[in-house]
Amino acid sequence: MKACWKKEKPPEIERRIKSNDPEHNAQYEYANNFISTSKYNIFTFLPKNLFEQFQRLANAYFLGLLILQLLPVISSLTPLTTVIPLVAVLLVTAIKDAVDDFQRHKNDDIVNNRLSYVLRDGKLIEERWHKVMVGDIIKLNNNDFVAADLLLLSASEPNSLCYIETAELDGETNLKVKQAIDETAQLEDNHDLMSEFSAELLCEPPNNRLSKFDGKLTYNRKEYSLDNEKVLLRGCILRNTAWCYGLVIFAGRDTKLMMNSGKTKFKRTHIDRLMNLLIIGIFLFLVTMCLICTVACGVWESFIGYDFQAYLPWESFVPTSKETGSATIAVLVFLSYIIILNTVVPISLYVSVEIIRLVNSLWINWDVKLYYDKKDTPAKARTTTLNEELGQIEYIFSDKTGTLTQNIMTFNKCSINGKSYGDPIDELGNMLEISERTPKVDFSDNSYAEPTFDFYDKRLLEDIHSGVKETEAFFRNLALCHTVMPETKKDGRLEYQAQSPDEGALVSAARNFGFVFKSRTPSTITIEVNGETEIYELLCILDFNNVRKRMSVIVRKDGKITLYCKGADSIIFERLDPSCSQLKELTLSHLNEFAQTGLRTLCLAQKELQPDVYNKWKEKHQAASVTLDNRDDALDGVYEEIEKNMILVGATAIEDKLQDGVPEAIANLALAGIKIWVLTGDKQETAINIGYSCRLLTEEMEEPFIISAESCEEVQKELQTALDEVKKAKTAGAGRNDVGVIIANGGGGQAVYNGTNGHLPTQQEEYGDFALVINGHSLVYALKPELEGLFLELGCSCKAIICCRVTPLQKALVVDLVKRSKKSITLAIGDGANDVSMIKMAHIGVGISGQEGMQAVLASDYSMAQFRYLERLLLVHGRWSYLRMCKFLRYFFYKNFAFTLCHFWFAFFCGFSAQTLYDPYFISLYNVFYTSLPVLVLGMLDQDVNDDYSIRYPKLYTPGLQDALFNKRKFLWSVCEGVISSLIMFFIPYGAFLYTHGVSGYDLADMQSFGTVVAAILVVATNLRCALDTSYWTGFNHFVMWGSIIYYFCFILAFYSEGIGYSYVGVALSVFSSANFWLCLLLTCTLLIVPVVAYRFYTSNINPTLSDKVRLRQRIKKTKSRSRDLNFRRQSTMRRSTRSMRSGYAFAHQEGFGELITSGINMRERAEDKHKEPVTLTKITRHDSTRQKPPPVEPNSNIVFVEHL
């Protein structure tokens, strides 16, 4: 905490730094490089931790009860009954917090005490990180961590190149290239020059933008523009670079890494929110019982107690008059009963819930079936508070590229000068179907060709050999217009490192067709065309960003200046010369054909520039590149001027393969009643086709509703028309099915389950009739307040929804709309930085560790390697967690109401004097030792059916969608059971022991004996009830179940023995040696258990749930002889469509190396990386869907799953 008397530092507007001038920099009071991620120290731990714990309402509530118990005038219980559980809870939580914080301290100490070489007084000294200050000059060696955010001054590589790994920042392991400006690069590794280096840096204030930096360096009276490519961020590692020097810009908590280490948004489950409401209701119930006892006490004292003061004298402070005295005692009794009956809300409930959630999270982490061995990536629960919410997901919002698809690109087809290439043809010009026997194009005459590259249309290679100019221009564009970095290995292999897989695939395609990108410098690009070297002067790179959706390069060769451009078709077509109109129509036709087969498309264009035009434009570009005000907007405006009136060259078509198991997972999740919305940046055609590829869209559906209007009125009209058609179809189809429970999966897409006969879904029930596809520009209007209701109603009436051309913000807004309006549990899943906002917005965020880095994983609640694992995460772990938590809560409330209400019944026999029925120590230990372990094990291990059947029968997920296993009704049922059980537990022993004598002739009807009898029956009966609720028995269940009962009897016999000398000495031996007790125990447990067994037997046989039926089949399968093995078939969760497998295209979502390449440095072959190979993009293969052999099925049958009973 900041000292209250310390003046708060005003927020920074800009940062000014002078190199080698610590006195000047000290006046600004910039943060030093010490970091602390811990919450406590040795002095603040106890007060701060207790303060945080008592901010929880439950802990504060029990602290208030403890204070009341310290007042002997109102408390008939020893304070130990509350002190023991409260201290236990506080202690366990404090130990957990202390261990976590100790680990943070250790990590902080490791980081703060790392060593760096710092230039001080002309000498390079070894200094600990926490002593590094803003303005210091640091030297880093190869494989060193970057100590703070640095401006790169010089480096060992040619022209001050250096390579860094940013895995700690964004999870990406491919190397990034950074560069110093030429003027500081001349300082090299010279300590004297570095010590004399005097420059002033003006830059942006500390912020959390990892990919952006704006600054200006003034050196030798000249100003130099600084951007993110000249900055090394804390947390990076220097790779393949012998040394480099950097000037500290931001240190410690001001570094971008620490600025991004904000607190994770706290998420609460639906059950948590319901629990808060129920706790309020329980407290009101508690107050009601206390008021009843208070009124009754006042009446009793007025009519009976007042006249018996000789036997039961009133306290001295109580007024002597009947009315006033009785009222005073009644008020005190109210507080006393608040203390006695508080166990109806036990503090151990909260601890038990957290333990169960922790263990269920570990099951996810340890599940080998969620482990992806190809990348050595297990699933990980990054939170422990949301497990049961996984069993209640109603809406899934999924990204497409890299989530449903692999984000591994293969070059399949292209269009050049109005001619389409890619499909093999025979001698007569007829198109052939690609099969294993289809001959591939022979690239053996190209020494740079990749053996894994497959292409089937030999006409393209023939045109190149024939010298067709348009074809050469096409591949020359691919070989020149990119930001790929080449690298030649020791064995001579040429490999490429690209910022995106699609760009790597295009450059590799050009390489295989003889246009080999060999090397680059900041001012040249070298390619080899059919064995001849061509060197182009690189004048400028107009890099890609999400707004431009295109990139260009300007090169010069033999005095001719040419602009090459590639980008999204809609962007390129807007900037073409009018003379290309006919070619544009032909190319557009080919693009549509490519999209129909599910390929990702890209257009190429070029333009010749006159030298005077280019020179004028270059001046504008230079001015825009050094401005500090809206530099990006200024550059985009300059780019726009030159990228117009271009000539269309052609188009490319790349395939992005689906991940394994995606269609089956989506089909099964849809059968479970979960609605799946795909939110993608792809164009409409490719988005639709990927929908068919992954079976989100099916042949049984009507044609999707397309919403693509560009005005608010037109969007409203299209939405309303579509909704009217859906309602019309639903009205026409009403009454067709006589069903029990309808699982809403959108409009006509209802999945039906009849609980009375275990009906399994039919084809009609598996799939609905309608799908909705909406474009991003239409979504802008659909998300406005006046249209969002209409959009949501239509979307929820359709089975499949695809939103295409959407921005990251629109993804989050769609999730928020459903989350707010439907009050349903949502899940968002994605793999890239553009999915982070969606992941954070949803109730549960799942990150895919894919090709686009780890940004989505770092923002997620759960992470996994493949989309198909989501099926198991929800249908197995989510369903089990929800089932376990609901069982736990129902049982917990049952046993505590049964326990507490016995006090209430006893009040009618003790004159409402707040006398306790049980031994005070029994009250303290009941929820901690006697009944806690069995229900904890149930909450950790229980399962109604195994994981295999949970996936085979996705409709088992339905109770979670309907919130059927724990709700207000189930809670009230548990309370009623607890009340009835307390009546039986109290009055049967009361009647049985009222006139009972022991073997020795002593009376067994004393209060201590009666309390011991009821307590023993309570422990046995509640543990037996837990056994009845347990569906999955292990040795651990048996141990804790029967062990808890045995432990109770052994402990009570020992504790009530003469050796301890407790006030209950001898009571346990006297009671347990009586036959009356054992007969009473048997009778009471029979009355409590048998009706429950009978009711469950009746319901499971007469009106079984699907869970009952599947559990029976599971049991039969285990017990039947293999010789009598039977085949049981169920409807497939997957349909084979007649459509071809499809995918779609989305251009790279990040900037390339453009700014680096044009900065004026020579980028030759990098030093060998002895520790880590860079990303290789050389293995490019063409996906052949016909090679995928479907599983064997019977002819004309849709049956996929065959189950043996």
Active site residues: 399
Q: Which residue, among 435, 429, 418, has the nearest Cα to 593 in the 3D structure? A: 418
Contact indicator for 187, 245 with CB cutoff of 8 Å: yes
| The amino acid at 133 | M
- CA 296 to CA 598: how far, in whole Å? 78
Query: Tokens 């060769």 appear where?
Result: 557
**Torsion sign over Cα 345, 349, 353, 356:** negative
CA 1141 to chain CA centroid, nearest Å: 29
Q: Would the CA dihedral through 1138, 1140, 1141, 1144 be positive or negative?
A: negative
**Cα 482 from chain centroid?**
33
SS3 state at 1162:
coil
Strands (E), 5-74: 15-18
CA distance 286 to 292: 10
Q: Return d(Cα 687, Cα 705) in angstroms, integer.
A: 13
Cα distance between residue 891 and residue 937, in whole Å? 13
Q: What is the DSSP string of 513-560?
A: TTEEEEEE-SSEEEEEETTEEEEEEEEEEE---TTT-EEEEEEEETTE
**Residue 485, φ and ψ in degrees, nearest 5:** -105, 125
Classify the C-alpha dihedral 622-626-632-634 as positive or negative.
negative
Strand partners, 137: 247
The H or E element containing residue 716 is: helix 712-732
Query: How would DSSP label each residue in 927-987?
Result: IIIISHHHHHHHHHH--SS-HHHHHH-GGGGHHHHTT-SSSHHHHHHHHHHHHHHHHHHHH
Q: Which residues of 964-975 are buried (b: 16+ CB within 10 A; e: fewer)?
A: ebbbeebbeebb
Two tokens at 1160?
Answer: 């004026």
How is residue 788 written in tokens? 């969002």
Neighbours of 662 (CB within 10 A): 24
Cβ-based neighbours of 112, under 8 Å, separated by 6 or more: 33, 34, 35, 128, 129, 130
How many CB atoms within 10 Å of residue 59? 19
What does the block give as tokens for 462?
């023939």
Neighbours of 1003 (CB within 10 A): 11
> 374 to each of 378, 661, 850, 866, 870, how far by Cα in Å?
11, 15, 12, 11, 18
Distance of CA 481 to the CA centre of its chain: 36
Contact yes or no for 873/951 (Cβ under 8 A): no
Residue 1141, judged by CB atoms within 10 A of its CB (0-12, 13-18, 19+), counts as buried
884 Cα distance to chain centroid:
22
